[in-house]
Chain A
Amino acid sequence: MSKTILTVDDSASMRQMIAFTLSNAGYEVIEAADGREALTKLDGRAVHLVVTDLNMPNLDGIGLIKGVRVIPAYKYVPIIMLTTESTDEKKQAGKAAGATGWIVKPFRGEQLVAVAKKLLG
């Protein structure tokens, strides 16, 4: 069975690009536009990896990571955050919140797939 990845980004183009890359690599992809929506998508279905942006309206990436880590069913789901080079403190905050890994924007599709493979085993 293919693994399911939840991608969270307020930018539709980023979501599209991520979803396109990951589904081409054989993953199921579900999308959410912000942290709050992402949490509603974690409704008990199997999600094996979360790829989230950090800067988002309503609930940002850090908030989402914290939120995911307190849901029993998703407590150990690997989470990749997407950061930009200028947000190093954000990276630390994300890690403190429980992010598993990160990718620095801009990245290439192969990098994303490599990291997904790495975390999904």
Chain B
Amino acid sequence: MAQPNPIQTFLLEADDLLATIEQITLDLDGATADIDTVNQLFRAFHTIKGSGAMFGFDAVASFTHHVETALDLVREGKLSLSPVLITCVLGAKDQIKALLDEAQGGPAAPAGACDKIIATLAGLSSAKASHDNHTKPASTAPIPTPGAKQAWKIKFQPNSDLLICGTNPIALLDELRALGECSVEACTGQVPPLDQLSPDRCHFSWDIALRTTADFNTIKDVFIFVEDGSTLSITLASPSAVKISPTPVPATTQPSPATSEIASAPATSRVPAPAPVTATPEAKAVARKAVAADSTIRVPSEKLDRLVNLVGELVMNQSRLSQVAARLDTTELTSPVESIERLINELRDNVLGIRMMPIGSTFSRFKRLVHDLSAELGKEIDLVTEGAETEVDKTVLDRLGDPLIHLIRNSLDHGIELADQREKLGKSRRGTLRLAAAHTGSNVVITIQDDGKGLDRDAIRRKGIEKGLVAPDAVLSDREVFGLIFLPGFSTAKQITSVSGRGVGMDVVKRQIDTLRGSVAVASEVGRGTTISLTLPLTLAIVDGLVVAVGDDQFVIPTSVVMENLEITRDERAAFNGRHAVAVRGELVPYIRLREVFTMPENEPDLEKVVVVQHAGERVGLVVDRVLGSHQTVIQPLGRFYRDISVLSGATIMGDGRVALILDVAGLVRLTETTALQTVSTS
């Protein structure tokens, strides 16, 4: 396996951190910040800065530094998290993202934005001047003559904490010896009598004579970690004054006994026992937690897709095997085949489970959207989310973002009124947008609910008549009226804003939800608000289907839309003068004959079956030859060549190895409607 690239890791990590930043910041919005949250925010920026600088993202690092400085002041309580600062932090987050993208070859980050944010931050934290002082000690180094050997006299009396801080003085002396000829003399004058001697204190000091080509700073660097609290003098000596003894003075080895005693000290019970004992339970808990944290693995989604595909193939082959086993009917074969079936089903459920992601990550994206949009529209709006932990297939989740953005924009723009207007209507000034997700069976229902003015039934109807979508005298149910807003080119907004109202949107939403095999429903009450519910399948990889046959071909209708099955005779078909409608408990239900759609005229049976399905709140019958039974199938997408076929959503391989096409009910209805309209207009 190739060595993982830390830069790649950093970019992934930065993405996560930026998402965290945004989430924290939006959570803070309005609320009073507790110190933990601020710390978390600070740490996120800190890591981006530190790691960014490490991996060559200097622009990111230097920019992030300013944000970090401001947040540090917040941590110290010198600065409050004002809305201005929060906006600034959000802006900074976007800017960092842009800078990172730029560094990866993306478009250039907006140039002025950095300076603007920095200026705002500087304005907020003008009191910070004392903070940035670099306390780099100015070295009063004598200027060395490079190249020539010089004699140095070094006196080093370490801080007595030296050993406790993990420094080994012998290593320091060895380091000096590596620089040149060196003689070390230990001064033992400070060593206390035995009864007062503490083995983890350093009581020695050293006088060192060194002849080296190294300059002052190189020598000083040897002591870099120990010079604070120690007495260190490094002086240039006249060569004659420095005597280098050829062998180390015995005293130099003096520290060794002390250190070796220290090394053995931990083994003895010199240290009070209670400390480790009390630490143990906590340590165990920590260990468990660490294990849990380690058990998350990042996997590229293609790998998962491949796995799902493989499992799909496995499921199909298994079902063929089961059929063979059933035909042969030998106990020797059936029993292992049954075990395999059980195992494979479990495997399938588990593999599909891997792809499930909580919808919360998508929801949190909208917090920002609502925050920004309400500011832009001058409205006061709270976003409330529910069911963030609801799990949905990643593919569904990925394709859900756009439709949801459309719907939220619509609610914010057209639904919720301005604060003053709301007050006049006796509502609270702040509008609420509720975003909720919940499981119902094998579906997930997402509702977008606002407490705004609701849909204007009459206005929609008028508009529908105006656009020729509805007959002027038609009596429409609420559902039918609200359904109009999903038709292409329909917008009732009196003025077009930058947020929404271009008349594209709702029909796009509808289409996108359709491609996800989902449905949209609208409920609205004037003055109380609008609720839009999206019903979506949990996964796109598997469908519970009703297998039907037309001629020799098999088709799969997703069970989620199937309502009931009926029979229809040739006479009944003729009874409505060839109009495609059937009476179901006194109500007329239009039907589509698959034979006609797929042009398969031969061998029409006398008795056909009608599968009544639900589409956009209406019932539609699909006429087939036979209904074979229900079947859980793994959906195989059709190749690129067949992508434009709207009436099919995929294919699956049946147990006997034959291919069955999966019907897309929405596409079928659309196709039939278009052909019907064409027939009407040409006749």
Contacts and interface: CB of A to CB of B under 8 A. Distances in A.
Interface of A: 10-14, 16-17, 20, 32-33, 36-37, 39-40, 53, 55-57, 69-73, 75-79, 82, 84-86, 88, 95, 98-102, 105-107, 118-121
Contacts of B163: 76
Contacts of B265: 72, 75
Interface string B278-312: 00000100110110010000000000000000000
B283 A101 contact: no
B40 interface: yes
Interface string B111-137: 000000000000000000001101100
A98 B6 contact: no
Contacts of B175: 118
A32 B175 CA distance: 30
B53 A121 contact: no
Given A16-B4, A16-B6, A17-B6, A40 B165 contact: no
A40 B69 contact: no
Contacts of A84: 46, 49-50
Nearest to B47: A11
B171 A12 contact: no
A55 B69 CA distance: 14
Nearest to B269: A72
B276 A17 contact: no
A56 B43 contact: yes
Given A10-B43, A13-B9, A76 B263 contact: yes
A79 B166 contact: yes
A40 B282 CA distance: 10
Nearest to B45: A55
B6 A75 contact: no
Contacts, number: 126
B54 A105 contact: yes
B69 A106 contact: no
Closest 7 CB pairs of A and B: A13-B10, A106-B53, A101-B225, A78-B166, A72-B266, A100-B166, A121-B171
Contacts of A37: 286, 289-290, 293
A14 B51 CA distance: 6
Nearest to A94: B165
Nearest to B224: A101
Contacts of B156: none
B430 interface: no
29 contacts: A11-B47, A11-B51, A13-B51, A14-B47, A14-B51, A16-B6, A17-B6, A32-B290, A33-B293, A37-B286, A37-B293, A40-B287, A57-B40, A70-B275, A71-B276, A72-B265, A73-B266, A75-B200, A79-B166, A86-B65, A86-B68, A86-B72, A88-B134, A95-B228, A99-B165, A100-B225, A106-B53, A119-B168, A119-B171
A12 B43 contact: no
B475 interface: no
Given A84-B50, A86-B72, A98 B164 contact: yes
Interface string B17-41: 0000000000000000000000010
B654 interface: no
Nearest to B290: A37
A56 B50 CA distance: 12
A88 B161 CA distance: 20
A57 B293 CA distance: 13
A75 B266 contact: yes
Contacts of B165: 79, 95, 98-100
A76 B275 CA distance: 17
Nearest to A102: B225
B341 interface: no
A16 B9 contact: yes
B108 interface: no
Nearest to A77: B166
- By CB atoms of chain A within 10 A, which of B131, B165, B224, B290 has the most? B165
Contacts of B13: 11-13
B6 A20 contact: yes
B42 interface: yes
- By CB atoms of chain B within 10 A, which of A101, A106, A119 has the most? A106
B576 interface: no
B6 A13 contact: yes
B271 interface: yes
A75 B7 contact: no
B495 interface: no
B240 interface: no
B335 to A, nearest CB: 47
A95 B265 CA distance: 23
A89 to B, nearest CB: 9
B42 to A, nearest CB: 7
B151 to A, nearest CB: 24
Nearest to B287: A40
Nearest to A106: B53
Contacts of A71: 276
B21 to A, nearest CB: 14
A120 B170 CA distance: 11
A105 B48 CA distance: 12
Contact of A40 (B134, B135, B286): B286
A11 B50 contact: yes
A121 B168 contact: yes
Interface in B149-169: 161, 163-168
Contact of A12 (B9, B225, B289): B9
A16 B42 CA distance: 22
B61 interface: yes
Contacts of A76: 163-164, 166, 200, 262-263
B139 interface: no
B498 interface: no
Contacts of B276: 71-72
Contacts of A121: 168, 170-171, 174
B166 A17 contact: no
B60 to A, nearest CB: 11
Contacts of A75: 164, 200, 265-266
Interface string B56-84: 00000100010011001000000000000
B196 interface: no
B145 interface: no
A111 B263 CA distance: 28
Given A78-B168, A121-B171, 7 more contacts: A55-B42, A75-B200, A100-B167, A106-B54, A118-B175, A119-B167, A119-B168
A85 to B, nearest CB: 7
Given A17-B6, A33-B293, A10 B47 contact: yes
A79 B166 CA distance: 7
Nearest to A36: B286
A11 B55 CA distance: 12
B9 A88 contact: no
A74 B319 CA distance: 60
- By CB atoms of chain B within 10 A, which of A40, A82, A88, A119 has the most? A40
Contacts of A86: 65, 68-69, 72, 131-132
B577 interface: no
Nearest to B170: A121
Contacts of A95: 165, 228
- By CB atoms of chain B within 10 A, which of A13, A72, A84, A107 has the most? A13
